[in-house]
Every structure is written in structure tokens, then in C-alpha cells.
Amino acid sequence: MNGLPDFLNRTPHEWMDGVIPLFAPDADSLYDRRSATVDIYTGIAYGHLLFGETAAEPLYTRMVSLVKDGQPRRVLDIGCGPGRIVYDCAPLMLESEFACVDISREMARRAWEILVQGREMALPAWEYRGRPGVAFSRVLRQKNVWVAQADALDLPFHAGSFDVVLGALVLCRVRDPLRALVEMLRVLAPGGRLVLATPFAFNDSGLWERFWPGVKLRDYLTGFGVEVDYWEEGVEYEEVIDANGNSHRYRVTVCGARKSG
Ligand SMILES: C[S@@+](CC[C@H](N)C(=O)[O-])C[C@H]1O[C@@H](n2cnc3c(N)ncnc32)[C@H](O)[C@@H]1O
């Protein structure tokens, strides 16, 4: 599926490895500055397969079940990272098409390698976390997945293209969360489902003020005319970062909302 699908509203600026379109090639991403970060994050997102870690699972399980609900025809994962949620969904939903975008070239490349190319990989960065010799072999070759590098604040898609738009742990990483929400809702089809997960862990005091407590996010969504039909606060999500089980622990709010039809 990595040609140019009909949901695109523009052509890419460049291509990476000849297969991954770049729509925001000048973007500066944290994950592209340090090469080990993508390997570490791959180990966190797929910790259940690589290390038998279950600390991230309560969140991913909820996200997967919200995405699968209603057998959507087209799903967009924004800020897909190494593609964990689509990894769980795409093999079970062969009638559905999945588009994955991330602002980081290296994350987009990693999602492509795992979901589409099926390239087994070593994750040497884990050696410095007390876990030597880690290799990821349970990769996929999904024909129903398309991956691109793009910015959540300027999505390269026609309005109303997707039945589900998903953003997991990304809203508090973007410069302008409100604009990201507007973009997500623009590309969502009437009657489609927005699925969000956020720990509200902003780096900016202004964003804390505008978006926290979580009821403010709910109010923005209601103000945009979407009906919030799933709201769960305090979902435990833990990023286990080394062999000793040291971790970053988050309390995540999970939200499902329906755009009016
Ligand atoms: C914490 S990771 C979450 C990855 C994935 N959604 C998951 O739950 O496993 C946040 C991701 O959002 C991406 N991201 C940050 N800002 C973005 C933006 N403006 N547009 C698209 N992706 C962005 C990052 O590059 C990173 O891959």
C-alpha cells in the first residue's frame, strides 16, 4: 500500500528509502536527534514480546479495542511511533486500511520496517540498559498498512478520509494540541471515531493551563461538536526502561468520541 493512496491531498516533498513519503522533511524531531531513542522506544512499545513486560499493556489493550470497534474501513494512527497499536490491529482487520504517520523520520522508518517490510532487527541500545542481545523477530508484512512521515498539525489528507483517527501519547508532544485536534477532526469522516490517549504530561506551563485538568479536553471536544462516548482517567501506563525494572509511570486519560454524521 505504499504508493500514493487516494486519501492524500498533496504529493510528498521527498521519499525516504524510496518507499516512505516525507510530507514535513524539515521538521525537527526529538526522536531523530539521538539514534538510540527509537530502539529504546521500540523495546518499550513491544516490551510484551521482547521482555515479557506487561506494564504498557493496559493502555494498548484499551486502544486496540476502541480501534477495532465497528470494523472501520480506514484507520489513521497519528504519532504512530514504532506502530504498536496498528501491529495488534492490522493482521486481524484485513478488510481495513491503516495509515500511520509520525513526524520523526526514524519512527516512521521503524513502523515501516516492523509493519510492512518485515525486517528483523537487533536493538543494541538495550545493551546499555542491562539487556544485551535483544532482537525483534516477530515483524509483519501487512499489505493493508501505509506509512508516511508527516506533522499532526498539517496532515496531508483530504477532509473526511478516515473512519477512525487515533492519537496515542501524542497530544502532549505537539506544539499546538488544539490545532492537532482540529486536524484530526478535519480528516475524520462524519460519524467516524476519534480515539485519544494522553497523560497530559506537557513540557509547557501554558499548555498545562489550557488543557488540564482533563475536563478541559472534554470541553474542547464537545465544543467542536463531537460526542464523547468513552472517557477513562488514570489508566496506568509504565515505560519500563531497563533490566532492573526502573520505569517512567504515567496516568493516562483514554477518550473515544464520535463526530456527528
Ligand atoms: C510517546 S510516542 C507514542 C507512540 C505511539 N503512539 C504509541 O503509543 O506507542 C509519541 C510519538 O509522537 C510523535 N510526534 C510528536 N510530535 C508529532 C507531530 N507534530 N506530528 C506527528 N507525530 C508526532 C513522536 O515522534 C513519537 O513517535
Residue whose CA lies nearest to ligand 1 atom number 26: 81
| Local confidence band at 4 (pLDDT 50, 70, 90 cut-offs) | confident
Establish if 21 belongs to a structural domain. yes
pLDDT digits (tens, 9 = 90+) for 112-143: 999 999 999 999 999 999 999 999 999 999 99
Dihedral angle sign, alpha carbons of residues 211, 69, 119, 138: positive
For ligand 1, whether the C-beta of 153 sits within 6 Å is: yes
Establish if 1 belongs to a structural domain. no
Establish if 6 belongs to a structural domain. no
Ligand 1 centroid, distance to 253 Cα (angstroms): 16
Establish if 157 belongs to a structural domain. yes
Establish if 2 belongs to a structural domain. no
For ligand 1, whether the C-beta of 7 sits within 6 Å is: no
**pLDDT for 30:** 78
Ligand 1 centroid, distance to 71 Cα (angstroms): 24
Q: Are strands 74-78 and 162-168 parallel, antiparallel or unpaired?
A: parallel
* Ligand 1 nearest atom to the CA of residue 175, by list position: 19
Domain count, the chain: 1
| Local confidence band at 258 (pLDDT 50, 70, 90 cut-offs) | very high
* Ligand 1 nearest atom to the CA of residue 24, by list position: 20
DSSP 44-59: HHTHHHHT---TTHHH
Which one, of 126, 127, 173, lies nearest residue 151 by Cα? 173
- Measure the CA–CA gap between 150 and 108, rounded to whole angstroms: 9
Which one, of 143, 147, 46, lies nearest residue 100 by Cα? 147
pLDDT digits (tens, 9 = 90+) for 10-63: 999 999 999 999 999 999 887 887 779 999 999 999 999 999 999 999 999 999
Establish if 129 belongs to a structural domain. yes
Looking from the CA of 246 toward its CB, the CA atoms found within 13 Å total: 7
For ligand 1, whether the C-beta of 167 sits within 6 Å is: no
pLDDT digits (tens, 9 = 90+) for 146-204: 999 999 999 999 999 999 999 999 999 999 999 999 999 999 999 999 999 999 999 99
**pLDDT for 33:** 76
Which residue segment(s) compose the domain that 128 sits in?
Answer: 14-259
Between the alpha carbon of residue 147 and those of residues 26, 46, 201, the distances in Å are 18, 18, 26
| Local confidence band at 1 (pLDDT 50, 70, 90 cut-offs) | low
Ligand 1 centroid, distance to 201 Cα (angstroms): 13
Pocket probe for ligand 1: among 173, 174, 235, the residue whose CB has the most ligand atoms within 8 Å is 173
Which one, of 159, 201, 164, lies nearest residue 182 by Cα? 159
pLDDT digits (tens, 9 = 90+) for 102-119: 999 999 999 999 999 999
What CATH number is attached to the domain comprising 108? Answer: 3.40.50.150
Establish if 9 belongs to a structural domain. no
Which one, of 261, 259, 184, lies nearest residue 229 by Cα? 259
Establish if 4 belongs to a structural domain. no
Residue whose CA lies nearest to ligand 1 atom number 25: 104
